[in-house]
Structure 1
Amino acid sequence: MSNQLDKETLLEYLRSLRLLASPIIATDGRATVLDLSVGSRLRGREINNLGVAEFSDLIDEVMRDADTDFAFGRYAEPRELYSNENFAGNETSENRTIHMGLDLFCAADTPVHAPLDGTVALLENNARDLDYGPMVVLRHATDTGQVFYTLYGHLGLDTLKAIEQGQEVRAGEQIATVGSPPHNGNWPPHLHLQLILDLMSLDADFPGVACKSKQDYWLTLSPSPAVFFPQYDAKSLEYPPCN
């Protein structure tokens, strides 16, 4: 790993900034947490093989039940949602199923803001079905100059024209909007947020889902981004057991 910043050092640094960090999306403080894990149901319904419209409607119903406009999808959660060839393992027949980021389901066109000062390292449109769709990666540095990244996936198409690669952004500055299907990778409207220690030269192909057999490696490279939502219990946003 070329970046010497380790997982615990980064998380400790980010926790120290929690009163300074601007909200990526300003929630209502009542966001519910979805169970999208293997074998789970929402409102009694199986979630596998739902069309995007049905899945979106079901999530909207769950949010209405909870009297909120926001719902989290958990970090490190094993999921069966990733069904197409994009999620085949590169070296084995094992599919990628472990979610490496944190999802925040909300209305399309919801503004997305930079949580910290940074630079637009990547601005791409991964347009394949069930991919990131429009995505942004910001490059940040700690107060000692150690580099890390935040990745934002499933964005609105307008994002691709609103900012430029190499552009400097300030904490609190709008960098994107939440996208809608089919242009957001054909998912229910949500932000996929991922914290990354080292892009490993993978750039826009850095995975958001890992094989279970390699989850320790990938989840070390992508620690939990729950630190960016300090008003919520971090453990509730992470699939157990999660260190």
Structure 2
Amino acid sequence: MSLASFAAFLKSLKAHPLIHPSILKEDYLALDLSLHNSELEKVNVSSSHDLERFIFTYLKTRNAKVAYGGYLEPRGIYRRSTHFNEQNPETERNIHLGMDLWIEADTAIFAPLDGTIHSFRNNTNYGDYGPTIILKHNIDNLEFYTLYGHLSLDAIKNLKVGVAVTQGTQMATLGTAEVNGDYPPHLHFQIIKDIQNYKGDYPGVCNRLDLEFYKTNCPDPNLLLHLK
């Protein structure tokens, strides 16, 4: 299936909101964390505390509840971690492949679509996902996957591969910086067409050389979420 066809398919689906629907669409606010945002020059993005204060001040002063964005953003926040950092600008992994939803820790996360537990893992590298769940979906005979990163430790307790997850049911809660890879609390949500051989993990950031592949394999999550 071509990227255009897959994108049209995703756009046609009626997904349940990832965060409780009592938070309305107008409560979401786009957030730019790219290298091009001059406001971040005043923030120590290596500090999860300082970045959290920046994000939640941004929300509070604009009377919003959730900050969202990040798809294909080139970001500087990964340079603090050797898990991502490379000296060569062509191979430095700094282009974000999912959508982030920034909101308080312990926020409940709901399944956007029917699926099954494909895999889960606590990815403990500094700057990594922390607790992560991947769902497998098969809709109209089309198989694809969704990834949920930066969850709480409780979110991956007692999970079993293959168990059904019903659309609209709570599937997880968000973690704190102490468990989520040292980031302000947020959900990393990513759509994956071909999971390859990954389990409980999948690249959420890529370099320039691999960008064309990942743009095709990981289309814009907003096709499903309709936040903008």
TM above 0.5, yes or no, is: yes
Q: Which residue of 2 aligns with 1:164?
A: 160
Residue-by-residue CA offset, 1:5-48 (whole Å, 9 max, x unaligned):
44222221222222xx2111133322111111114244x65345
Q: Which residue of 1 aligns with 2:95?
A: 98
1:73 paired with 2:69, answer yes
Q: Which residue of 2 aligns with 1:23?
A: 17
Comparing 128-137 with 48-57, greater Cα deviation is found at 48-57
1:194 paired with 2:190, answer yes
Q: Which residue of 2 aligns with 1:184?
A: 180
Residue 96 and residue 177 in structure 1: after superposition, are their counterparts in 2 closer, same or farther (change >3 A)?
same
Q: Which residue of 2 aligns with 1:220?
A: 216
Contact 2:121 2:201 in 1 (8 A): no
| Aligned pairs for 1:28-39 within 5 A | 28-29=24-25, 30-39=27-36
What root-mean-square deviation, in Å, do the aligned CA atoms of Structure 1 and Structure 2 show?
2.0
How many residues were matched structurally? 223
Structure 2 unaligned runs (5+)? Answer: none
Comparing 46-55 with 163-172, greater Cα deviation is found at 46-55
Residue-by-residue CA offset, 1:74-98 (whole Å, 9 max, x unaligned):
2011111111221146x99721011
Q: 1:11 aligns with which of 7, 17, 25?
A: 7
Q: What secondary structure does 1:203 align onto?
A: coil
Residue 88 and residue 53 in structure 1: after superposition, are their counterparts in 2 closer, same or farther (change >3 A)?
closer
State the shift of 1:162 in Å: 5.2
1:141 paired with 2:141, answer no
Residue 210 and residue 16 in structure 1: after superposition, are their counterparts in 2 closer, same or farther (change >3 A)?
same
Q: Which residue of 1 aligns with 2:53?
A: 57
- AA at the equivalent of 1:160: I
Q: What secondary structure does 1:141 align onto?
A: strand
Sequence identity, in percent? 35
Contact 2:32 2:70 in 1 (8 A): yes
Q: Which residue of 1 aligns with 2:148?
A: 152
Contact 1:40 1:46 in 2 (8 A): no
Contact 2:90 2:209 in 1 (8 A): no
Distance 1:123 1:167 in 2: 12
Runs of 4+ in 1 over 4 A off after TM superposition: none
TM-score (norm 2): 0.90
Residue 165 and residue 41 in structure 1: after superposition, are their counterparts in 2 closer, same or farther (change >3 A)?
farther
Contact 2:95 2:205 in 1 (8 A): yes
- AA at the equivalent of 2:71: Y
Contact 2:90 2:208 in 1 (8 A): no
Contact 1:31 1:71 in 2 (8 A): yes
